[in-house]
Structure 1
Amino acid sequence: MRDDWKRYSDANRAAWNEAAAVHKKTRPVDLHRFFTTPGATLLDPAETAILESFGLAGKRIAQLSCNNGRELISAVNIGALAGAGFDISDEFIREARELAEIAHAGCEFVRADIIDIPETYNSSYDIVYITVGALAWIPDLDIYFGVASRLLKPGGNLFIYEHHPVTYLLPFKDKDYQPGGLVLKPEYSYFNKTIIEGQGLDYFGNTGYDASKNYEFQHTMGGIINSVIRAGIEIRELNEYPHDIAGFGWAESLGMFPLSYSLIGRKK
């Protein structure tokens, strides 16, 4: 499995590196300006409430698949002692370091494939934090959550805040919604195990550019939960929400679907 993992992750590394410059142009928030404000946070109310429920004072947080670190920096800004973010992309880690310096946040950012995170980080964190858009890039969740578990201190908390797997069944736009009813035209089955090949990663502006191929992986809620359990993490709470965190605003207005969820676990 390691050879397959590296094949996909090497391709995705190149794709995300290409996307970094595009994101800077198309995302709606100028992060370099945003984080000049002391205590600035991009976390939504649900996410903030859960993090604060852990009692952030004195806590160290690790974020897997951190992208440019905006959530981790926000978590430190609302009270965590320190953070460490890990991501495969050279360019997004470079930006994360810039943003942490601007924010004067106690965050370390490490460019590493998840399976290559050094053992020196083992048992170092009170919270391992995984947020929207992370799991779709992971070919093997058992490996991924195994890493999360080894980074946690005994008794530490896993916190996942992700788009709900049900969103794989929904059209991205409301063109398929008709007054008086909803016509679903899913591209994939909820149980799809086919590797999804794509090109282009501008989820802010949908800009077309000369992009390398990337690979995504669809996971069911059951698959996520079982991998967490197999990693030696006890699930304490699972909540599903009707609010959107991943580009399904039209569906949020209907209030009919679970669009996001949070999972809280505790390392045994």
Structure 2
Amino acid sequence: MTDYLDVNRANWDDRAAAHFASPGYPVSKLAADPSHLSEVVRFDLPLLGSLTNQRGIHLQCHIGTDTVSLARLGADMTGLDFSGKSLEEARRVAELAGAGVRFIQSDVYAAAEVAGSGYDFVYTGVGALIWLPDVARWARTVAALLRPGGRLFIREGHPMLWTLDEEAPGTDLVVKYPYFERSEPLTFTTGGTYVETEVEFAHNTTHEWNHGLGEIITAVLDAGMTVTGLVEHQSVPWEALPGRMREVGDGEWQLIDNPDRLPHTYTLQAIRNTAS
């Protein structure tokens, strides 16, 4: 696919302003309360540890609410995204929140070229890897961004979650989509978005890829990093399977019926080897 970036960028550009205005993003809370953190980052806190005086980069940062939250934890943050419209809103979020965050527009794979290297940590949030066709190339990019001993922190939708048919009737979980990375993307044309809004969008087509957990871990290892943690979670920060999930607090959702049968998300941590 040579056009996936243009197609996906148009989709995200179209939704950026609506996301900024939606109550589904904590823009007003970040502006009103200098101690407020996004629900996503609050979930990450037990595993994140201290970020004080650390230099971090948030890949695929979208409108920057998580980036600003990381900055509030004491990190010197850079946010990177390929959507110019998203970064316009991210800069507004940072200004309203009084956060000194640097934002850079770039494709993820060019991140080290445009944002430099030597970062103490790379952060990636839920719903990021599915937009990338090559997870091994992504891992090499992460390693290039990090200083020796620097840390990767990613919480992401579990690849089993991405295989499921959202429209399957009843409570059965129906595997419909590939678990493993394929060269050709899954192409969807769907209106709307994942947060509350009344805006209608013009660009509704996306190209997406799944990556198996083994593929992701292997990519990280092959890129010269050592895995230091892998935790699978029983919740996800949006209603991923509409009608079959209940909100369990702090913006997290879980299967209503027997949630133990599905890993909803995972957190992966790794450090760049000093010899890599």
- Could you tell me how far apart the structure 1 residues matched to 2:185 and 2:126 are? 19
Kindly, what percent of the aligned residue pairs are identical? 30
Give yes or no for the alignment of 1:186 onto 2:175: yes
**Paired AA for residue 184 in structure 1:** L
Residue 32 of structure 1: how far off its partner (Å): 4.0
8 Å Cα contact 2:192-2:201 kept in structure 1: no
Instruction: Tell which deviates more after alignment, 43-52 or 97-106.
Output: 43-52
Which residue is 2:250 aligned to? none
Give the TM-score normalised by the residue count of structure 2.
0.84
Amino acid at match of 2:209: F
- Decide whether aligned partners of structure 1 residues 28 and 201 sit closer, same or farther in structure 2, where only a CA change above 3 A counts: same
Report 1:6-155 matches (<5 A): 6-29=2-25, 31-44=27-40, 45-52=42-49, 55-80=50-75, 82-117=76-111, 119=113, 121-155=115-149
Contact 1:153 1:267 in 2 (8 A): yes
| Count of residue correspondences | 256
Give yes or no for contact 2:122–2:153 (8 Å, CA) kept in 1.
yes
Contact in 1 for aligned 2:111/2:145 (Cα 8 Å): no
Gaps of 5+ in 1: 178-182
Could you tell me how far 1:124 is from its partner in structure 2? Answer: 2.6
Q: Describe the superposition over 1:6-36 as per-residue Cα deviations: whole angstroms up to 9, x where unpaired.
A: 5211221111111223334544345145333
Q: For 1:186-225, what per-residue CA distance to the aligned partner results, in whole angstroms no more than 9, with x for missing partners?
A: 3224347351112346112486533242211111111111
Return closer, same or farther for 1:212/1:170 CA change in 2, 3 Å cut-off. closer
User: What does residue range 165-184 of structure 1 map to in structure 2 within 5 Å?
Assistant: 165-172=159-166, 175-177=169-171, 183-184=172-173
Q: Is the 8 A contact 2:112 2:144 kept in 1?
A: no
Partner of 1:231: 223
27-36 or 71-80, which deviates more: 27-36
Contact 1:39-1:78 within 8 A present in 2 as well: no
CA contact (8 A) 1:240 1:259 kept: yes
Q: Is the 8 A contact 1:90 1:111 kept in 2?
A: yes
| Unmatched runs of 5 consecutive residues or more in structure 2 | 247-253
**Aligned match of 1:180:** none
Cα separation, partners in 2 of 1:139 and 1:174, compared to 1, 3 Å: closer
Deviation (angstroms), 1:261: 0.7
- Structure 1 segments (4+ residues) deviating >4 Å: none
Q: Equivalent of 1:244, from 236, 248, 270?
A: 236
Partners of 1:15 and 1:92 in 2: CA distance: 11
Amino acid paired to 2:38: L
Give how far 1:130 is off.
Answer: 0.7
User: Contact 1:245 / 1:259 at 8 angstroms: preserved in 2?
Assistant: no
Partner of 1:40: helix, strand, or coil?
coil
Please, which of 175, 195, 218 is the counterpart of residue 204 of structure 1?
195
- 1:216 has 2:208 as partner: yes
Note closer, same or farther for the CA distance 1:160–1:114 as it changes in structure 2 (3 Å cut): same
Aligned equivalent of 1:261, options 247, 261, 266: 266
